[in-house]
Structure 1
Amino acid sequence: MNIIERLTRDAEVRILSNEKQVVNFSIATNDNYRNKQGERIEQTTYFECSYWISPKVAEILTKGALVELNGRAYSSAWIGKDGEAHAGLNFLTSQIKLHSSSKKDSNSTIPKTKGENAKSKSAENDKDDDLPF
């Protein structure tokens, strides 16, 4: 599955008990349509995303950044501490392509890491940047 959307919060790196690291972030997808009565309906769907390949990507995944994600979507359900049923949509991310950074990071540069050559085109300055993943 391929999704192109903006991050709703900065990415966070979590270190698990087995010393593995996972990058967690969220995105929102917007949709609109007209119902049978002709009323315009707007709907936002949130995905909690995880990326297990490299924790370095968290440095550039900031709120407002436009990203293209490849991976697998799945749902989860649980009973909260309040005893109520909850559900959420998740996205297990296998590839990330940065299309534009958030406005607060628009002047920062992205360092290249060894063996990596993925490129992204910045929407603000139209020059190629090397991504660290």
Structure 2
Amino acid sequence: MEITGRIVKDASIFKVKENREVVNFSIAVNDSYRPKGSTEVKKIVTYIDCSYWLSAGLAQWLKKGTLVQLFGRIGMNVYIGNDSQAHGSLTFHTSDIKILVFARADDTKPVPAKAPKKQQASNDPDDLPF
């Protein structure tokens, strides 16, 4: 499954048993629809809790405002609370993260994620690859 959204709060790292770490963060997914028989477009925001177990080092790039594309699966947690009622929550278990736009600094524009620049060709005829 694939989802795309903006991170709503800087990612946090939690240590769990056996020296494992998990990166937890939440994203906001914007959507819109037009109700039947209406000309008005309704906008909705869905907040999704996410977890990433593969590398805690990635947390430094998962800052508030970063636009990410996530691949993974949905997991459900169900429990009986102190109020004797059933409660549940969904978590997106992320297996791959692609950063589309990095979070902006205080007074700058958003920075698109770019592939590394290729080495520019030289004008020197002796540097020809053949």
TM-score, normalised relative to structure 1:
0.71
State the AA in 1 paired with 2:10: D
Match of 1:27 in 2: 27
TM-aligned CA deviation for residue 95 of structure 1: 0.5
Residue identity opposite 1:104 in structure 2: A
What's 2:72 paired with? 71
CA deviation after TM superposition for structure 1 residue 100, in Å: 1.4
RMSD over equivalenced CA pairs, Å = 2.7
- State the Cα distance separating 1:85 from its structure 2 match: 5.0
Moved more, 47-56 or 74-83: 74-83
Measured after TM superposition, the shift of residue 46 of structure 1 is: 1.0
Is 1:123 matched with 2:94? no
Structure 1 residues 76 and 25: alpha-carbon distance in aligned structure 2, compared to 1, 3 A threshold: same
TM-score for the superposition, normalised by structure 2: 0.73
Structure 2 residues without counterparts, runs of 5 or longer: 118-130
The aligned counterpart of 1:11 is 11
Identity among equivalent pairs (%): 40
How many Å apart are 1:69 and its aligned residue?
Answer: 0.7
- Between 1:55-64 and 1:33-42, the stretch displaced more is 33-42
Q: Which runs of 4+ in 1 moved over 4 A?
A: 79-86
- Give the Cα separation in 2 of the matches to 1:5 and 1:102: 12
Instruction: Give 3-state SS (helix, strand or coil) of 2:6's partner.
Output: strand
Q: State which structure, 1 or 2, has the greater radius of gyration over its C-alpha atoms.
A: 2
Count of equivalent residues: 114
